[in-house]
A and B are shown apart, each in its own frame.
Chain A
Amino acid sequence: MRRSTRKLIDRSFSGLGVMSIVLMAAALLVILAPIFVRGLGAIFFRGTVEFRRMQLEQFERGSRAAVEEETAAAAAARAPVYRMLAEFEEELSAMAAEERRQYAGQLREVRELVTELLGPAPGTPAPVLPRDQYGQTRWDRARFKLDLLLQRTEYDYSDAARMGREVRVDRARDFAGTRLEPLFDYLRAHAREMLRPRLTAYLRFLTDAPLDSHFFGGIWPAILGTLYLTLGAMLFALPMGVISAVYLVEYAGQGRLISLLRTCVSTLAGVPSIVFALFGLAFFIHSLHVTPGKSIIAGSMTLAALILPTIIRASEEAIRAVPETYKEAALSLGAGKWRAVITVILPASLPGILTGTVISMGRAAGETAPIIFTAAVSVGKAVELFQARFWEALAQPTPALPWNIYNLATEHEAVDEIRHVQFGMVFVLVLLVLLLNAAAIALRARVARRLRG
């Protein structure tokens, strides 16, 4: 082979490596970008007058006078819409029966969409569910609804070989010649006046309770539930993990028993998380009866079993990294083994242990499968931990971010309507985990600096 070819192969080989890393980084970016952008959209968005009205009526926020003034202005802009609808209805009653039937269905659709966009028409009785009491609270959703209102979708099946193709049809064309025809131009031109979008920072998204199954409000109970479950898991796993690590490093010889224990730790690390879920259900709930059903405490225990091997491994590594000479110095001063471990070895390995702990906290916070059967419910109040009966609070099930993300994205009655809430939850969860990891990285950097210095 020529030298130039060998060189080319060498270069392209390096190129391949770099490309794979670029691909990996790109994958990360592609996954994180929508989560961050649309997740932030749950907090920062253009809120309509309906949003401010909802905030005032449901949460008692904002100035009543300002909102009422704005509502009045919006109502003035909306008046022509209702007028046109009413006029068309009159026109309709004058039409022939067959023509009337043809228009009636389409009119019903338009009316429904107008209600969805702007809220119930003035004069109609207030609906029961909050979600029906308001029009679109977010301008992006409003634009989407407006689009549905202006155009309807048809499927073109003329080509039998292929799947039906989508065709958008202007509704104005459906109503051509009637008194409803100008409605669509009016809606297009005056949507802003009717909904008055304005940039809104809904920071309370993080601390509000959800309203009407997440149509409105925030995600506080889920955040709180995740925190409780994570901290609870740490409470069980951290002492056990650190003690196990100390024993494995400092106390145990290289016997059979220890290699068996090590194999067990790595086996535990390899058990699929869904198996932990079944184990938690069968053991903590059905056998031990820790609580009669799902609860924070059962979920924490299951998560603790899941992260135990991670903590053991990280702590073991951190303890091994402590120079042997520290221990020798302590022992040569007459310290017992215990004392050497507690006063010298653990403090010296603490940053390393904390790094591992923080990373496994991230893992515990993000795990979904183990809490499905042991702790998580889709709808629930924020658990008040500091109440008179502490134990009872812990024995309650709780919403939790990972589970609620799954639930809202797949099982919610109106999955598409609350995409922003789903993205907001994913964003908060990912941010939480990334912050924990950043803390771990910072800790590690500090340790490295100290070991060098």
Chain B
Amino acid sequence: MVVTTPTFDLVVPERRADVRDDAPLEHPRIVAREFSVFYGRTEAVVKVTMNFPHGLVTAVIGPSGCGKSTLLRAINRMNDLIPGCRTGGELIFDGQDIYKPNVDVAALRQRIGMVFQKPNPFPKSVFDNVAYGPRILGIQERGSLRDIVERSLSRAALWEEVKDRLGDNALGLSGGQQQRLCIARALAVDPDVLLMDEPTSALDPRSTARIEDLIGELRGQYTIVIVTHNMQQAARVSDFTAFLYEGLLIEFDVTGKLFTNPGQKQTEDYITGRFG
């Protein structure tokens, strides 16, 4: 495997200045402190301590089974669905440990949206898919729903393609369109954070490029955490990168630095393709 030198051409240029600086880390959106996730007895994420910077894209990479998806799903407590899943340490969002018992999980999830590995639109119309979240928030009025749907679809760069078939079943869209629809659906509740769990792994290269462009456009407006097994993708889209191996956080740094000058041997081995 050839190591690509990460280029930041895809990233909006003026951001680079901020990124080189470590300043964003002082104002993190999400903070993990000694955070662990257990499935029964196995510890999938081991005492991870890191900051997810505000308004930037953080990539989480690592070989399969390293706990990167688990970490991501822990951020909006999707792991609650898995029986026998426990956590340790703290995961702080907005100044609150989200694993405290009195946390309103539904409210949390509204503020931390998620995009899944495989596009998973509901078997409903395009409109109903996007309007699903706002409706949960209690917005019933058709006009404002329409506004939100249009805005969300535009932001997900899908509006032009689907504006004439908002009533069609979303399962009739192409895979890439479905995934952008899922992003639009997540944006419709106006979250602060967007979690993306290998959002392009089920897509063809063209659709992947569109999604990556989209991530570039959303950067700055949302705090984005993206899990990917594709290192070029991580290099292309992210500002910061975390490398996880067997549940441990091996390295966390500015993306450019991590890929060109990794501080750890394991990281280097991984990004040069010696394992994983």
Q: Which residues of A contact B (CB under 8 A)?
A: 253-254, 323, 325-336, 339, 343-344, 347-348, 450, 453
Contacts and interface: CB of A to CB of B under 8 A. Distances in A.
A347 B113 contact: no
B171 A333 contact: no
A332 B76 contact: yes
Given A343-B132, A347-B124, A348-B123, A332 B114 contact: yes
A283 B169 CA distance: 48
Given A330-B132, A344-B122, A450 B171 contact: yes
A31 B107 CA distance: 62
Please give me the 6 A-B residue pairs with the lowest Cβ-Cβ distance, nearest first: A334-B110, A325-B120, A332-B114, A333-B133, A334-B109, A334-B106
B182 interface: yes
A332 B124 CA distance: 17
Interface string B167-190: 000011000000000100110010
Contacts of A453: 171-172
Contacts of A329: 114, 116, 120-122, 182, 185
B81 interface: yes
Interface string B136-180: 110000000000000000000000000000000001100000000
B42 to A, nearest CB: 19
A344 B132 CA distance: 10
A328 B113 contact: no
Contacts of A254: 83
Interface residues of B, number: 28
Given A328-B116, A333-B185, A450-B123, 13 more contacts: A253-B83, A328-B120, A329-B185, A330-B132, A332-B76, A332-B114, A333-B132, A334-B107, A334-B133, A343-B132, A450-B171, A453-B171, A453-B172
> Counting chain A CB atoms within 10 Å of each CB, which of B81, B114, B132 scores highest?
B132
Contact of B110 (A325, A333, A344, A348): A333
Contact of A334 (B120, B124, B189): B189
B114 A336 contact: no
B118 A325 contact: yes
Given A329-B185, A331-B78, A336 B123 contact: no
Contacts of B124: 347
A328 B197 CA distance: 12
Contacts of B107: 334
A326 B182 CA distance: 11
Contacts of B171: 450, 453
A333 B136 contact: yes
A326 B124 CA distance: 11
A327 B172 CA distance: 20
B114 A335 contact: no
B78 A328 contact: yes
A259 to B, nearest CB: 15
A348 B169 CA distance: 12
> Counting chain B CB atoms within 10 Å of each CB, which of A327, A343, A450 scores highest?
A343
A346 B71 CA distance: 30
Contacts of B81: 327-328, 331
A323 B120 contact: yes
Nearest to A348: B123
Contacts of B106: 334-336
Nearest to A333: B133
B24 to A, nearest CB: 25
Interface string B82-121: 0100000000000000000000001111100110101011
15 contacts: A325-B116, A325-B118, A326-B122, A326-B123, A328-B78, A328-B81, A329-B122, A330-B122, A331-B81, A332-B109, A332-B116, A334-B107, A334-B109, A334-B110, A335-B132
Given A339-B136, A453-B172, A333 B120 contact: no
Interface in B185-213: 185-186, 189
Nearest to A329: B120
A267 to B, nearest CB: 27
A348 B120 CA distance: 13
A346 B251 CA distance: 44
Nearest to A350: B123
B172 to A, nearest CB: 7
A348 B109 contact: no
B127 to A, nearest CB: 14
A227 B193 CA distance: 55
> Counting chain B CB atoms within 10 Å of each CB, which of A326, A328, A334, A339 scores highest?
A334
A159 to B, nearest CB: 76
A327 B124 CA distance: 14
Nearest to A254: B83
Contacts of B110: 333-334
Nearest to B134: A333
A343 B135 CA distance: 11
A450 B123 CA distance: 9
Contact of B136 (A323, A326, A334, A450): A334
A428 B172 CA distance: 41
A334 B121 CA distance: 15
Nearest to B76: A332
Contact of A333 (B113, B123, B172): B113
Contacts of A343: 132
A194 B106 CA distance: 84
Nearest to A253: B83
B83 A333 contact: no
Contacts of B182: 329
Contacts of B172: 453
Nearest to A452: B171
B120 A326 contact: yes
Contacts of B116: 325, 328-329, 332
B109 A333 contact: yes
Contacts of B120: 323, 325-326, 328-329
B162 to A, nearest CB: 17
A303 B244 CA distance: 59
A335 B136 contact: yes
A61 B123 CA distance: 54
B123 A347 contact: yes
B83 to A, nearest CB: 6
